Amino acid sequence: MTARGTHTDVLIIGAGPTGLALALDLARHGVAALVVERGAELFPGSRGKGLQPRTLEVLHDYGVLDRVREVAGHYPPNLFWKDGEPQDERRMYEPAEPSEAEPYTETLMLPQWLTQRILHGRLRELGGEVAFGRELAGLGQDEDGVTAEFTTGAPVRARYLVAADGGRSTVRRLLGIGMAGETVDPAPMLIADVRVTGLGRDHWHVFPSDEGLLAICPLGGTEDFQLVAGFPEGTAVDLTLDGLRAAVAARSHLTAEQVTELRWISEFRPRAALADRFRAGRVFLAGDAAHVHSPAGAQGLNTSVQDAYNLAWKLAAVLAGRADAALLDTYEEERRANAAEMLALSTRVHRGEERRGRATRQLGLGYRESSLAVDTRPDLPEDALRAGDRAPDGQRGGTRLFDAFRGPHWTLLTVGTDDPLPALTAPVVRIPAYGAYGTGVFLVRPDGYLGWAGRTADGLTDYADRHGLLDG
């Protein structure tokens, strides 16, 4: 602290999943980052509860997947009720068998507050912290950095600032960045974490009724249920325990008294919105500050974590002087298009136009059209792995690829070839032929996507030079 306030490399506004993921990833890179949160504690509700397979891969890289799997639950089948009697069951997600290349294919359920607790714990292990009770009041920026003012406490000066402060982002408003979108459903809905007696925890209980949707889902790792209820457009929703009990009693066979405790509650209207820009000078938008999803399909939190995963290594490379500042332009280039695709998917799932399946797992997302994706192999088969794609996992010769990729580094991977390689700072992993890759040389980015690919290493030196990877 100085007379002018705190100085840091990166200031992150908001300690939700996006901000925490970004902070811990930056900490792995040795970047000084400060997370500020206007609340007195981490968000207490279950709102984003689905962890998609691609996010599980990120959590593996962060070193917290085992912690998540210890407490996370499986998505139970929907059980539909009528007149107090159970009717048919339906699976929400199409099952997919894991494979060597895609070891995680199941969407896990974990309430957002527990996900945040795990991320926060990992951040603290890496030396990071969250400053609670700091509400942003204003910001300004110049050629060298950003200055943030708060309603209490000293200002903070940072080289870069990241807005991870949610769908009603104060940062986005202060910057004057617009957010275009649509109301997916104008009818209000409530979401609540409750304690309920008389319902089993092996099903997601659905009670169709004339009054509106009622769904009650057991939350993995807790004794709670998440309750979602819809109301007619124009309804003034009662967010008290008594109001919640009345809705449950009117729409199901449960009595009001069987809702024994209300732990958290919120009202929302499903919408889909995308910020006009993801960057303004030295300020970046991430997570809900950049894109707001319908909760259907469990894409919002997952897309937000991918934002953090994409941005962290780029900020670290620029701050360390290993890469030109132009690298930061690729954050919006890559993530805005990706977020738009996920918003459209969430909306289709909400409207019943698409099943939850391969697309919602996010394993097929990539950056083939990115300026960072360079593939020197002509005439590839249609289904070939290409630069910009997610780097598959695999076990060859005692090496697990995801373990080799784990960490903040690039990885130079050769598959089925002993081609001479340039001297890079990236560790080299050589494995025999593997169908998921074919044969060739691949440079894997710190976020697990292929940056460069070729049958030989010809042309790799130029790419590595641009990204500060040449050894000397």
What confidence tens digit (pLDDT) does each residue in 373-424 have?
999 999 899 899 999 999 999 998 889 999 999 999 999 999 999 989 999 9
pLDDT digits (tens, 9 = 90+) for 136-148: 999 999 999 999 9
Q: Tell me which residue of 120, 110, 125 sits closest to 68, measured CA to CA.
A: 110
Sign of CA dihedral 110, 270, 311, 43: negative
Helix 300-319 with 53-62: angle, nearest 10 deg:
40
Q: What is the CA radius of gyration of the chain?
A: 23
CB atoms within 10 A of CB 468: 16
In the predicted structure, residue 242 carries a pLDDT above the cut 80: yes
Mean pLDDT for the stretch of residues 209-221: 92
Q: What is the mean pLDDT of residues 51-78?
A: 96
Residue 358 in this model has a pLDDT that exceeds 80:
no
- Name the band, by pLDDT with cuts 50, 70 and 90, for residue 56: very high
Going by pLDDT thresholds of 50, 70 and 90, the confidence category of residue 316 is: very high
DSSP-derived secondary structure letter, 289: G
The token pair that represents 134 in the structure block: 């700091």
pLDDT band at 1 (very low <50, low <70, confident <90, very high): very low
Tokens representing 109 are: 């359920």
Alpha carbon 52 to chain centroid, angstroms: 9
Where does the pLDDT of residue 95 fall: very low under 50, low under 70, confident under 90, or very high at 90 and above? confident
pLDDT at 2 over 60: no
* Long-range contacts, 342-346 (Cβ 8 Å, 24+): 342/291, 342/293, 342/299, 342/303, 343/181, 343/272, 343/273, 343/274, 343/291, 343/293, 343/299, 344/272, 345/297, 345/299, 346/184, 346/272, 346/293, 346/294, 346/295, 346/296, 346/297, 346/299, 346/300
Q: Which tokens belong to 245?
A: 């009990």
Q: What is the pLDDT of residue 3?
A: 40
Distance CA 118, CA 452 (A): 33
Is 70 exceeded by the pLDDT of residue 50?
Answer: yes
Tell me the residue length of the chain. Answer: 472
Do 220 and 177 touch, CB atoms closer than 8 A?
no
Mean pLDDT of the chain: 93
pLDDT at 357: 67
Q: Which of 3-7, 76-80, 266-270 has the lowest mean pLDDT?
A: 3-7
Specify the amino acid at residue 311. L
Neighbours of 262 (CB within 10 A): 18
Cα 263 to Cα 16, 196, 222, 226, 452: the distances in Å are 19, 11, 12, 10, 49
Confidence of residue 472 (pLDDT cuts 50, 70, 90): low
Report percent pLDDT > 90 for the chain. 81
- pLDDT at position 338 is 87
pTM: 0.95
